[in-house]
Chain A
Amino acid sequence: MNNRLADFRKERGVTQEELADALEVSRQTISSIENGRYNPSIVLAFKIARFFQTAIEQIFIYDELEGEKDGC
């Protein structure tokens, strides 16, 4: 799954550390999501969307071909 988390974060001037603290996850989790190495749970995805006051699909982009590859 692709995402625009890094763009949203940088636009708002939030560091990975600050975002991680606000969402109560580790900084590595934020970094892994941004690099596309880790797909967050639906709960964390909602928390991220709520933090940026936007809809999930604005941040996370579901690609059907990628989804099939990931088994999603």
Chain B
Amino acid sequence: MGVRKLDFRKIRYISILLLGIVLAIFGGFFIQERWGGILVGLGAGLFGMSGAQLITERVMQRNPALQKKISIEQSDERNVQINNYAKAKAFEFATFLALPFFLILVLADVPLSIVLLSIAVYVADYAVYLWFLNKKMKDI
């Protein structure tokens, strides 16, 4: 009693926030180097993401009604179904979009390594789809 339960999510976000600050400051010393810029970008990204999450959690804690409403909206079966439908359509669209994209890369005389890398990403994406399809076929 009286001892506040450790909120591991909060601790994780604070750790990421601090890591972001450290990376951004460290990167700032080497901003002339390419990796210095990457570190600043990464640090700012981590800082922004975890900071926003902490603020959101604080607002939620003060407003349980809002927290419940958002939780219901997120887990609502119709919303989940709509979201999954939209994701499936986006995947289908990306699948068709990839083919003319590869053609444009070839016609634009882009180095072969870039074309092959793009195709590898496309194949990996499709492999993930087939893996999950197979997994679900076995599971249900």
Which residues of A line the B interface, CB within 8 A?
Answer: 20, 24-26, 28-29, 32, 38, 40-41, 44
Contact = CB atoms under 8 A, between A and B. Distances in A.
B76 interface: yes
Nearest to A38: B78
B73 interface: yes
Interface of B: 72-73, 75-79
A1 to B, nearest CB: 15
B57 to A, nearest CB: 21
Contacts of B76: 25-26, 28-29
B78 A32 contact: yes
A44 B77 contact: yes
Nearest to A30: B78
